[in-house]
Amino acid sequence: MSKKEKLSIIIPCYNEQEMIDLCHKSVCAVIDPLTDFDAEIVYINDGSKDNTYEKLLEIQKKDKRAIIINLSRNFGKEAAMTAGINNAQGDAVIILDADLQDPPDLIPELIKLWKENDADVVYGQRVKREGETWLKKLTARFFYKLMSYISSTEIPLNTGDFRLMNRRAVDALNQLKERHRFLKGMFAWVGYKQIPLEYNRAPRAAGNTKWNYFKLLDFALEGITGFSIIPLRIASFCGFLISLFAFAFGGFIILKTIFLGTDMPGYASLMVMITFLSGIQLLCIGILGEYIGRIFGETKNRPLYFIENIHGR
């Protein structure tokens, strides 16, 4: 008999006590018929403050396929997913959200596309995003469009973390050690053969999203500063243009004073120019500060996460 391939399903969890039982049942209903695979379900408890961890321990006692990785505190979703990817042992690794917005029913389709196309990565591409506000949809669309223009890495539009990666892609991803992680970009940066699976994203089955607009903005800045230096070049270009204009305008004032002997009245216009230039300077300093902050974070070389304990392995 040929040895079965191993399938790892990674599910990061943060305050998901309302969802975790339903999530496990839904995943089990899908993987139970997959007799060609030995499956493990790797749950990462990312410092939950509710009863998520206790519920995960109950699940692990009943189902030995469940592996519980309990982080020492809340490190954020990107670090939690990295912990799962680092510890997954499967020949194929699938990342899934505990809120079931990315339906587990699509797992067989991911596997089918992987096998039929000999792909390294099969990523979920959202056609519709149910249960999200028009503002979130609009800002998400703008962000992905912006990233496609400013990044040298081609990041597919309307993609999330829901995807299947084979062992080669996982091993490559595990070699990327940066501390400021934008995994959507890192998945694409690794390369290899990647194909999409289009699907409609469902609303949350229960509970509330953990992502507010401030966290989404911070996440977007991580992506922009991690995969493009275009903002720095824009700041340099703006500085060059404003300096050129200031030099020309200064020459105009000098020549007019010499030949016409008149000064240049206009307190209001002067204040507008000073305010405008000050704003541009602060904006450029802020852009520079974002990149310096990334450098500061990388040079500290801290671990991405600490594991308090692991159950089931």
pLDDT tens digits, residue range 246-285?
A: 777 777 777 777 676 665 566 556 666 777 777 777 777 8
Q: Order of strands, edge to edge, in the sheet holding 307-311?
A: 194-201, 121-129, 159-166, 92-95, 5-13, 37-45, 66-71, 307-311
pLDDT tens track for 166-212: 999 899 988 888 877 878 778 888 888 888 888 877 665 555 555 55
Mean pLDDT estimate for the chain = 79
Q: Is the domain of 144 the same as that of 247?
A: no
The confidence score (pLDDT) of residue 5 equals 83
d(CA 228, CA 221): 10
Give me the domain span that covers residue 269: 230-300
Name the residue with tokens 């450029």.
284
Summarised one tens digit per residue, pLDDT across range 134-178 is 666 677 677 777 776 667 677 777 777 888 999 998 999 888 888
For residue range 208-248, what is the model confidence (pLDDT) as tens digits?
555 555 666 666 666 666 666 777 777 777 777 777 777 77
83 and 150 co-located in one domain: yes
pTM > 0.75: yes or no: no
Strand partners, 39: 7
Same domain membership, residue 62 and residue 40 = yes
Which contiguous run of DSSP H or E holds residue 31? helix 20-31
Per the structure, the count of domains in the chain is 2
Query: Looking at residue 69, what is its pLDDT?
Result: 92
The predicted pLDDT at position 1 comes to 44
62-89 tens-digit pLDDT:
888 889 999 998 888 888 889 999 898 8
Q: Give me the CATH number covering residue 145.
A: 3.90.550.10
Do 91 and 160 lie in a common domain? yes
